[in-house]
Amino acid sequence: MAVVVDERFDARNIQTLTSAVQREIERRILTGEIVAGARLAEAPLASELGVSRGPVREAIRGLIQAGLVDSVANRGGVVRKIGFEEALDLYDLRAVLFGFACELVARRRTAEQLAALEAALDDMAAAVAARDKELYYQLNLAFHARIMEFCGNRRLRANYEGVVKEMHLFRRRGLSEVSKITASQAEHHAIVAAIRDGDAEAAFQAGRLHVQHGRSRFAATLDEDPPERQA
The residues facing 70 across adjacent strands are 78
pLDDT score of 231: 31
Determine contact, residues 180/174, Cβ cutoff 8 Å. Answer: yes
For 106-162, the pLDDT digits (tens) are 999 999 999 999 999 999 999 988 988 889 889 999 999 999 999 999 999 999 999
Topology of 84-230 in CATH?
A: Four Helix Bundle (Hemerythrin (Met), subunit A) (1.20.120)
Enumerate the CATH 1.20.120.530 domain ranges in the chain, comma separated.
84-230
Q: Please tell me the distance from the alpha carbon of residue 142 to that of residue 120, in angstroms, as a whole number.
A: 8
CATH architecture of 14-79: Orthogonal Bundle (1.10)
Q: Please tell me the distance from the alpha carbon of residue 39 to that of residue 76, in angstroms, as a whole number.
A: 7
b/e string for 100-131 if b means 16 or more Cβ within 10 A?
A: bbbbbbbeebeeebbeebeebbeebbebbeee
State if pTM tops 0.75: yes
- Residue 189: Cβ-neighbour burial (10 angstroms; 0-12, 13-18, 19+): middle
Determine contact, residues 25/60, Cβ cutoff 8 Å. Answer: yes
Please state whether 76 falls in left (phi above 0), alpha (psi between -120 and 50) or beta: left
In order, the DSSP letters of 116-185 are HHHHHHHHHHHHHHTT-HHHHHHHHHHHHHHHHHHT--HHHHHHHHHHHHHHHHHHGGGG-SHHHHHHHH
What is the 8-class DSSP label of residue 14?
Answer: H
Enumerate the CATH 1.10.10.10 domain ranges in the chain, comma separated.
14-79
pLDDT in tens, the chain (231 residues): 555 444 443 434 556 899 999 999 999 988 888 888 889 999 999 999 999 999 999 999 999 998 889 998 878 899 988 878 888 999 999 999 999 999 999 999 999 999 999 999 999 999 988 988 889 889 999 999 999 999 999 999 999 999 988 886 554 454 445 557 888 899 999 999 999 999 999 999 999 999 999 888 878 776 554 434 333
- Three-state secondary-structure class, residue 72: strand
